[in-house]
Amino acid sequence: MRVIVFIKRGALLMKRLMTGNEAIAEAAIRAGCRYFFAYPITPQNEIPEYMALHLPEHGGVFLQAESEIAAINMVYGAAGAGARVMTSSSSPGISLKMEGISYIAAAELPCVIVNVMRGGPGLGGIQPSQSDYFQAVKGGGHGDYRLLVLAPASVQEAAGLTAEAFVLADYYRNPVLILADGIIGQMMEPVTFEDIKPGENIAKPWATTGARGREPNIINSLYLDPEELEEHNRKLFRKYEEMKESEQRAELYRMEDAELVLVAYGTTARIAMTAVDMAREKGLKAGLVRPISLFPFPERIIRSTIRQSSAYLAVEMSMGQMVEDLRLAVNGERPVYFYGRTGGVVPTAEEILERIEILAGGYEGCA
Amino acid sequence: MRLIKGYPVSLKEKEFHYCPGCTHGLAHRLIAEVLDELEIREEAIGVASVGCSVLAYEYFNCDMQQAAHGRAPAVATGIKRVHPDKVVFTYQGDGDLASIGLAELIHAANRGEKITVIFINNAIYGMTGGQMAPTTLPGQRTSTSPAGRSSSETGFPLKIAELLSTVEGVAYLARVSLHDPAHIVEGKRAIKTAFEYQLAGRGFSLVEILAACPTNWGMTPLKALEFVRDEMLKVYPKGVYRRLEK
Ligand SMILES: Cc1ncc(C[n+]2csc(CCOP(=O)(O)OP(=O)(O)O)c2C)c(N)n1
Ligand code: SF4
């Protein structure tokens, strides 16, 4: 690992050149994660490898599970026992974890799950993708539940959001999913961990720690009485409403006077920024809204741009998933277009620029 | 009159929902007595599985987590790694442990997780209404083997104790039956030994309990106990299958 020293506003900032995967692992350790269970899969192997090497130095436990199913159920056990715990995987492995994630959400256990997405469906490919968006933000497993989903667009942001994920997980007693794509996981960028502090250790009086001098604690998701289950689900959804109130996040890029609004997250947003710059050079008033929280989707921020916009263009590495949430947010008040590459193909800035130019020319043929 | 045995502190005073003649209630009581005798109720964290015993968390008077179908050994692994000083046990049926959860079982055993697994083998899926299990006896009628289990089509009774006997992480492994008082005493001794192995930090321990499901076998409770004695014990011999030095 290389160490780079940046001079920023006179201050010395130690930055390390790391992959997104390594930065996620390091940030988790710094945030106080001491238990990590996972099964190998490309393109996220650097996360378990980093944990295997470094977690024991901090008195933590790294365990390579026999499957993603076992890994997520170990997370369920450890989270129920009160620990700060994480697992990571990539798309097919996340599919396997879904039953366990549903249990964790139902039992209201805090944990952090990382999905470094690759192309699907099926075994798909190992190149970067964003085609697990629906699975991430609509629940993914069975039943009425949501995950809090955060999407980093740089190595630095991957580190920051991972650390914050532990705080949010504890606060909401809900699993938090870091949804990254293979490029974020694999690319190297300078990163600093100076701002990352171990999250406050909030009390977990509900955890299974042995019923010494107290009534037994029970971690459970079974409600045989439908009225009770309905009440439980309503309670979960009050929590999700609070997330919608407090956790909507997005970055605005060159939006001051933008009329054509691109919406993209993760790596695609980075490319879209370049496309926006190129469009601006040609005198086209393009801008970008980059969702950082995918659940809750930043619909308030999208809606605040409706008055200035003539149209929206969602750009994704998928056949079009986030675009559906964008359409819900825009609610028919402006046209919403989509451009995507999928299967592991990464769109270029030139391709996106072409779409911007077509839209600026007033065509409706952009699909 | 002198009270020889009271209600175990490790059992909540709650009526079981189990059918008359079901072995689950008896097995619960034996585990609770062992937790009492070893004075570990306040150190214990149990994992309930999916099956007729899913509500075990309502009965054991200790911390409990309810696990997804078959995943109890993985859940117990997570708990034990966080609390290595606590006593962690799972309570699983044969559909749960020997079918859907076989991978989690074998790997927890192979890692030598310091947990205790109580395995209730009643040769059938009780909770879902009496379907065939991997442990169903040849020729045994179930709702999904209505003509009797055909081994050429659906395989043979899966022998968990024998299967695990070669796994090096296993410290103590026994199969017991609870069909009469003498065997109940023997069975309880095995459960106690299994917990003692965990307390000694020796590795993974498991007790397979041959159990009756009169309801889904279509037998009276008495006939069901005879079936355990005369049929199940033939296919599943009792005994200690692995025992390391303590
Ligand atoms: C993933 C999943 N598949 C299937 C079921 C349905 N199911 C509930 S209990 C059970 C079988 C339980 O049988 P066993 O483990 O032998 O316990 P018993 O009821 O006989 O005590 C099944 C298949 C489930 N709850 N979850
Ligand atoms: S169905 Fe069988 S296993 Fe279930 S409670 Fe009744 S007797 Fe016991």
Domains of chain A: 2-246 (3.40.50.970), 250-360 (3.40.50.920)
Selection from A178, A25, A51 nearest residue A112 by Cα: A178
- Beta carbons of A63 and B54 less than 8 Å apart: no
Please state, in angstroms and rounded to a whole number, the distance separating the CA atoms of residues A57 and A193.
Answer: 18
The average pLDDT across A70-75 equals: 99
Closest in B41, B43, B78 to A77, CB measured: B78
Q: Residue A6 pLDDT more than 90? A: no
A232 confidence band (pLDDT: 50, 70, 90): very high
**Min CA distance, B51 vs chain A (Å)?**
12
Best probe of the A interface among B55, B81, B97, by most A CBs < 10 A, is B81
Q: What is the pLDDT of residue B5?
A: 82
Selection from A307, A311, A295 nearest residue A263 by Cα: A311
Please state, in angstroms and rounded to a whole number, the distance separating the CA atoms of residues A260 and A287.
Answer: 6
B14 confidence band (pLDDT: 50, 70, 90): very high
Model confidence pLDDT, tens digit, residues A20-31: 999 999 999 999
For the sheet containing A293-295, what is the strand order?
A: A61-64, A35-38, A85-89, A111-117, A175-181, A148-150, A293-295
Selection from B49, B8, B52 nearest residue B30 by Cα: B8
**Min CA distance, B154 vs chain A (Å)?**
26
Using CB distances shorter than 6 Å, the residues near ligand 2 are B 18-19, 22, 24, 52, 122, 126, 213-216
Q: Residue B171 pLDDT more than 70? A: yes
Q: What is the mean pLDDT of chain B?
A: 97
For the sheet containing A11-19, what is the strand order?
A: A3-8, A11-19, A188-191
The average pLDDT across B100-118 equals: 98
Beta bridge partners, B178, equal none
A365 confidence band (pLDDT: 50, 70, 90): very low
Q: What is the pLDDT of residue A198?
A: 83
- Which uninterrupted H or E stretch holds A270? helix A266-281
Model confidence pLDDT, tens digit, residues B194-214: 999 999 999 999 999 999 999
Helix A20-30 to helix A46-54 angle, to the nearest 10 degrees?
40
Contacts of B63 in chain A (CB under 8 A): 208-211, 216-218
Both ends of chain B: CA-CA distance in Å? Answer: 40
Q: What is the pLDDT of residue A367?
A: 42
Contacts of B76 in chain A (CB under 8 A): 77
Cβ pairs A/B, distance under 8 A:
131
Q: Residue A140 pLDDT more than 70? A: yes
Q: Which domains does chain B have, with CATH numbers?
A: 24-243 (3.40.50.970)
Closest in A70, A78, A81 to B107, CB measured: A70
Best probe of the B interface among A76, A84, A99, A142, by most B CBs < 10 A, is A76
Q: B143: CA distance to ligand 1 center in Å?
A: 14
- Percentage, residues of chain A above pLDDT 90: 92
Q: Residue A14 pLDDT more than 90? A: no
Model confidence pLDDT, tens digit, residues A234-265: 999 999 999 999 999 999 999 999 999 999 99
Model confidence pLDDT, tens digit, residues A320-356: 999 999 999 999 999 999 999 999 999 999 999 999 9
A12 confidence band (pLDDT: 50, 70, 90): low
Share of chain A residues as helix, strand and coil, in percent rounded to the nearest 5? 40, 20, 40
| Residues of chain B with a CB closer than 8 angstroms to some CB in chain A | 41-45, 47, 54-55, 57, 60-68, 71, 74-83, 86, 103-104, 107
Q: Residue A168 pLDDT more than 80? A: yes
B3 confidence band (pLDDT: 50, 70, 90): confident
A9 confidence band (pLDDT: 50, 70, 90): low
